[in-house]
Structure 1
Amino acid sequence: MHADHSARAADLYRAEMEQRASRERLLAVARTSKAGGPGHDEAHEASDEREDRPDEHQGQAREQVPR
């Protein structure tokens, strides 16, 4: 059981680090786009992609709530 908990904790940590790295890349692109640099179009594409995709975590949370 301890191994299961450790594996789950490692998975959660890895997911959090990937999310943080993704956020940092988006911020770097956004900073570049504010300066009118080469990342300008990439920032808009990343923003559009986030708006088109529903928040996956919210959908899962709603499904798990007992009625």
Structure 2
Amino acid sequence: MQEKLAALRRFHNLTQKDMADLIGVDLRTYINKESGQSQFKANEMFIISQKFQKPIDQIFLPTNFEKHEVC
């Protein structure tokens, strides 16, 4: 679940349909991405970060990312 993204979307009074239109996908595709069932593409993340004027990592990385080790 993209909790930060969903919170930002609601804070800005945007619907999931608004976001789907923004990144050029159908509503069901956006819902799947926001719920974590599928991944956002890099260009979609850039568009969304520009919309909210926040760096991509503040929107899309999990809050506990720093605790994960890279093998």
TM-score, normalised to structure 1, is 0.26
Q: Indicate the structure (1 or 2) with the bigger Cα radius of gyration.
A: 1
